[in-house]
Amino acid sequence: MIMKREDYYQWAERAARWGAEYLSTLENRPVRAQNAPGEIAALLPAAPPEHPEAMETIFADFERIVPGGMTHWQHPRFFAYFPASAAPVSMIAENLTAVMAAQCMLWQTSPAATEMETRMVDWMRQALGLPEGFQGVIQDTATSANLCAVLTMRERALGWRGIDSGMVGEKRLRIYASPETHSSIDKAIRIAGIGQQNLVMVATDGEGALDPEALREAIDVPAGVVLCVGGTSVGASDRLRPAIEVAREFGLYVHVDAAWAGSAMICPEQRGLWDGVEGADSVVFNPHKWLGAQFDCSIQFLADPEPQVRTLGIRPDYLETLGQTEITNYSEWTIPLGRRFRALKLWFLLRAHGLEDLRQRIRNHITWAGEAAAAIASLDGFRLITDCRLSFFTFQYQADGEDANAATERLLRAVNDDGRIYLTHTIHEEQFVIRFQVGQFECRREDVLLAVDVLRELASGINPRARNGR
């Protein structure tokens, strides 16, 4: 009764059939889960089973309980947050990774994983137009890469004393960033022992880009500067070249977070957005967001890996590779020892689609987002708060006589309860705004246009005066 290795084919086939059915009927489901809190937990026994259960039962329970409790991130009408696009081909690669179930922490624990990772990072370096010389590593998330960069800034500024004798008695360090950087930078600074108070938010201009002169005035002590390209809240970007020039004057380490927007840099016409990036020490972007590589897959490029490896690398006797001292062990570049084989899905994705197709998808998303922004701006009661940045804009709605923040929030709730599309919000300059991004891998123009119709329809439904028959 217990599932054995010999049963693998039977259940993998069943899972593949389920997956194909799921993908082909995905758009009939509400995008955002429609559950009440606790609803799924109530379907799961409080205690673990003592005795084996039949796979048949487990699979049936999966079908009964799980899909109805999911928010469908691969839904073509997912316009919330940022995407977590998974090309079908990258799902297949992940299945293969799962079956080999390898720990790819050292070169010798799977040479294919290490050597393919080196090659895939270099393929992506070329695809993004980064100069030769940048190396890199595939991490789980941008959060991890941001932490690695902040730790490297810290140790470089301390002459690598922190990893040896700790932070007690060390000089104060500061990290300078624009207020548009992601909260994972705040978290990194807390974890790194630098302290939230030492994250200096530098003033920005009207576009939300860090002001290089304000940066120059803000810098008093090291350790580094964090810049962002395509911020999470409203998509703002720093102008890298002048900011990096200032950082260089003070000898500070520079990390660029382009987690979402980085994928668009495969399109040469978009690269003005990160002009000057070649001057950075470290750059992160997530192929798992907008490129189509299944989560998790975040590439951190490094102009020189040495400072980071010196900060994070540790090689106890039991992790030595006999007779090989010059090989790459990527676990020495990052925090966890254990590593998944993440390069495989990039290899599948890049080969199965080719850069041309991936560029076309991103160009489509940018075009369609522009169309949607224009259409929404022309609807009664709607106004754009931030214009399209790549494929992302924000807007507000105001019903007659109602506060715009309250009306926008009411509209957003109505949209997500409706389920045909999924949108999320942010607070921008004290306004409650709806974020709208186009980036789902299989999104079509008609999906984006439908979103405009849904907004028009639901807005008229919640407008008190429209409801009174006006």
Ligand X SMILES: *Cc1c(COP(=O)(O)O)cnc(C)c1O
In this complex, which beta carbon is closest to ligand X, that of residue 286 or of residue 329? 286
Q: How far apart are CA 223 and CA 158, in angstroms?
A: 8
Q: How far apart are CA 240 and CA 153, in angstroms?
A: 18
Closest separation in Å from C-beta 84 to ligand X: 9
What is the CA angle 257-76-387, rounded to 5? 50
Residue type, 454: V
In this complex, which beta carbon is closest to ligand X, that of residue 225 or of residue 452? 225
Q: 289: closest CA among 256, 330, 258, 268? A: 258
The SS3 of residue 279 is helix
Q: How far apart are CA 153 and CA 151, in angstroms?
A: 5
**Torsions phi, psi of 433, nearest 5?**
-125, 150
In this complex, which beta carbon is closest to ligand X, that of residue 283 or of residue 451? 283
Tally helices (H) and strands (E) across the chain. Answer: 15, 11
Residues β-bridged to residue 200: 176
In this complex, which beta carbon is closest to ligand X, that of residue 182 or of residue 342? 182
Note the Cα 347 to chain centre separation in Å. Answer: 19
In this complex, which beta carbon is closest to ligand X, that of residue 73 or of residue 250? 73
Closest separation in Å from C-beta 141 to ligand X: 3
In this complex, which beta carbon is closest to ligand X, that of residue 121 or of residue 399? 121
Closest separation in Å from C-beta 381 to ligand X: 29
Closest separation in Å from C-beta 85 to ligand X: 13
In this complex, which beta carbon is closest to ligand X, that of residue 178 or of residue 286? 286
What are the tokens at 110?
Answer: 């799977």
Closest separation in Å from C-beta 47 to ligand X: 33
Closest separation in Å from C-beta 184 to ligand X: 5
Q: Report whether 302 contacts 277 (CB < 8 A).
A: no
What H or E segment, with its residue span, contains residue 65? helix 55-65
Binding site for ligand X (CB under 6 A): 82, 141-143, 182, 184, 228, 231-232, 257, 259-260, 286, 298
Q: How far apart are CA 131 and CA 141, in angstroms?
A: 23
Q: Report whether 367 contacts 391 (CB < 8 A).
A: no
Closest separation in Å from C-beta 286 to ligand X: 5
In this complex, which beta carbon is closest to ligand X, that of residue 201 or of residue 352? 201
CA distances to 17, 102, 160, 312 from 164, rounded to whole Å, are 53, 32, 7, 12
Closest separation in Å from C-beta 258 to ligand X: 7
